[in-house]
């Protein structure tokens, strides 16, 4: 028996790329670190906020490739020179990804009080009506 997916439905032609994006997003789940919020700031703008306490701007990298926003963090581990009696704050790296829809672009990013804010904007698509001529036989 063949697995039926939403992209194989006869009314949804050309949505195979959307299905690949959904699969890629499901595989990219990195657990709960770092925690993040996604908020809608205006009708066409969003903000992703990641809690990156302990990371400096130079420890973070933000890239967009193939409609995928990737935020990576890597702290330099200076624990060799220090003696911890208790170590409850882990110095670990992370990678968090978000799939962006067509027309969504990264407007900028900034750090504030241990929070990394990534601002996104969505362009309004033009409404296009196309009339198709029916040719005679």
One domain, residues 38 and 101: yes
The three-class DSSP label of residue 95 is strand
Q: State yes or no: cis peptide before 34, omega within 30 of 0.
A: yes
One domain, residues 9 and 42: no
Residue 104 counted as domain residue: yes
Q: Average per-residue pLDDT in the chain?
A: 84
One domain, residues 109 and 49: yes
pLDDT (mean) for 26-52: 87
One domain, residues 7 and 60: no
Residues composing the chain:
137
What does the alpha-carbon distance between residue 86 and residue 69 come to, in Å, rounded to a whole number? 35
Q: pLDDT for 90-101, tens place per residue?
A: 677 899 999 898
pLDDT at 78: 65
One domain, residues 14 and 61: no
> Dihedral, CA atoms, 16, 21, 27, 32, nearest 10 degrees?
-150
One domain, residues 18 and 40: no
The three-class DSSP label of residue 49 is strand
Domain count, the chain: 2
Has residue 1 got a pLDDT over 60?
no
Q: What is the CATH number of the domain that holds 72?
A: 2.60.40.790
What does the alpha-carbon distance between residue 96 and residue 13 come to, in Å, rounded to a whole number? 31
Task: For the chain, give the longest Cα–Cα distance.
Answer: 86
Neighbours of 116 (CB within 10 A): 22
Residue entry with tokens 């969505």: 122
One domain, residues 68 and 108: yes
pLDDT at 80: 66
Residue 136 counted as domain residue: no
Q: Which two tokens stand for residue 6?
A: 């939403």
Q: Which two tokens stand for residue 17?
A: 């790329």
Residue 133 counted as domain residue: no
Domain ranges, residue 110: 32-122
One domain, residues 12 and 51: no
């Amino acid at each position: 028996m063949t697995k039926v997916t939403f992209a194989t439905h006869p009314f949804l032609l050309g949505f195979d790329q959307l299905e690949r994006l959904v699969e890629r997003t499901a595989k990219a789940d990195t657990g709960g670190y770092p925690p993040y919020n996604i908020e809608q700031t205006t009708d066409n703008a969003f903000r992703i906020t990641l809690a990156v306490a302990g990371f400096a701007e130079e420890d973070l990298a933000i890239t967009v490739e193939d409609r995928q926003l990737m935020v990576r963090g890597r702290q330099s581990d200076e624990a060799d020179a220090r003696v911890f009696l208790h170590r409850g704050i882990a110095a670990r790296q992370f990678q968090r990804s978000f799939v962006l829809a067509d027309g969504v672009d990264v407007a900028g990013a900034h750090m504030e009080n241990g929070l990394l804010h990534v601002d996104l904007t969505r362009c309004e698509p033009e409404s296009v009506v196309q009339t198709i001529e029916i040719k005679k036989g």
